[in-house]
């Protein structure tokens, strides 16, 4: 009787296998499909990811932290699998209660484009948090919106745009005509200006003054000016020093210019009375 059992076993396995196979439902068996079903048997419908995805937006500039300037450089890379149509760029700031101060819409073509733009800042205090928002649309109407926060700081002192002083001044009865000027600017505004007038040799009633101070010049006049100026100040400071009892010899003027954020720029003008 035992010899009859063995031929029956393979048959039983086949029946069980076939029964299990017939239990599988039809489904998508393509692993690249979004509805791929590893337990399904073939024959089902597959759903694939969109073949025309949204544009890709990459905001390269501004960086996260930038120095205050009258202008902000924007650099944006755009790409799309089929074709780019338009890009709209809006830049806003907390200083303006979130309102935009720069906005543009550009027509695009091709599948890749790099935009290099310049956003001009309004003439108010723009130190603080800013935000750029880029919306890119492809030729089929697919849209991508990308944003980036960035901070604008004022860490640099005013720039001296120009300065002048007589390098050689003719001596005239102890009171040579001498005036100097310094033109300076700062994107955040200039707060104050100070100067010191130094000389090696000059006239005076005090006997100490009537000597030559070659090694150690003497401060014979100092002054300062306060400025209440709008942002992006470009100011020219001019001082007439005719009343100085200067005599023959070298002189120099040290200046200190401070912006509204407390950053300082110093410089020196030199000349000679002869």
Q: Which residues bind Ca ion (CB under 5 A)?
A: 52, 80-82, 138, 142, 154, 156, 186, 188, 259, 263
Q: Toward Ca ion, which CB reaches closer, 137 or 169? A: 137
- Please, which residue, 29 or 144, has the CB nearer to Ca ion? 144
**Distance between CA atoms of 88 and 224, rounded to whole angstroms?**
48
198 by Cβ neighbours in 10 Å (0-12 / 13-18 / 19+) ranks as buried
Say whether 229 sits in a helix, a strand or coil. coil
Residue 29 vs 88, nearer CB to Ca ion: 88
Number of H helices, E strands in the chain: 1, 16
Q: Among residues 154 and 239, whose Cβ is nearest to Ca ion?
A: 154
What distance in Å separates the CA atoms of residue 93 and residue 99, rounded to the nearest whole number? 6
At its nearest, how many Å lie between Ca ion and the CB of residue 162?
18
The alpha carbon dihedral of 208, 212, 216, 218 has a sign of positive
For residues 62 and 189, which CB has a smaller minimum distance to Ca ion in the complex? Answer: 189
Q: Are 86 and 137 in contact (CB under 8 A)?
A: yes
Q: Closer to Ca ion by CB, 156 or 194: give it.
A: 156
Strand duo 84-93 + 249-259: pairing = unpaired
CB of 165 to Ca ion, least distance (A): 24
Q: Which residues have C-beta within 8 Å of that of residue 116, sequence separation ≥ 6?
A: 73, 74, 75
């Amino acid at each position: 009787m035992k010899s009859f059992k063995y031929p029956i076993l393979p048959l039983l396995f086949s029946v069980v296998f076939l029964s299990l196979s017939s239990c599988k439902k039809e489904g998508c068996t393509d692993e690249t499909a979004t509805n791929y079903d590893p337990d399904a048997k073939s024959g089902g419908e597959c759903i694939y990811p969109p073949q025309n995805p949204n544009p890709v937006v990459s905001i390269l500039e501004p960086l996260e932290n930038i120095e205050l300037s009258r202008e902000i450089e924007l650099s944006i890379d755009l790409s799309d699998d089929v074709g780019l149509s338009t890009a709209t760029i809006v830049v806003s700031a907390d200083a303006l209660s979130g309102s935009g101060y720069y906005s543009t819409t550009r027509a695009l073509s091709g599948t890749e484009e790099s935009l290099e733009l310049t956003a001009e800042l309004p003439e108010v205090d723009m130190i603080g948090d800013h935000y750029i928002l880029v919306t890119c649309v492809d030729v089929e109407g697919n849209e991508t919106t990308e944003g980036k926060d960035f901070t604008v700081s004022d860490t640099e002192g005013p720039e001296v745009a120009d300065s002048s002083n007589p390098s050689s001044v003719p001596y005239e009865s102890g009171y040579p005509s001498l005036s100097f000027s310094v033109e300076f600017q700062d994107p955040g505004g200039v707060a104050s200006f100070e100067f010191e007038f130094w000389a090696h040799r000059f006239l005076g009633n005090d006997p100490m003054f009537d000597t030559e101070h070659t090694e150690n010049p003497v401060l014979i006049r100092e002054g300062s000016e306060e400025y209440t100026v709008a942002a992006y100040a470009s100011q020219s400071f001019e001082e007439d020093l005719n009343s100085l009892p200067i005599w023959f010899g070298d002189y120099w003027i040290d200046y200190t210019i401070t912006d509204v954020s407390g950053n300082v720029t110093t410089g020196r003008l030199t000349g000679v009375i002869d």
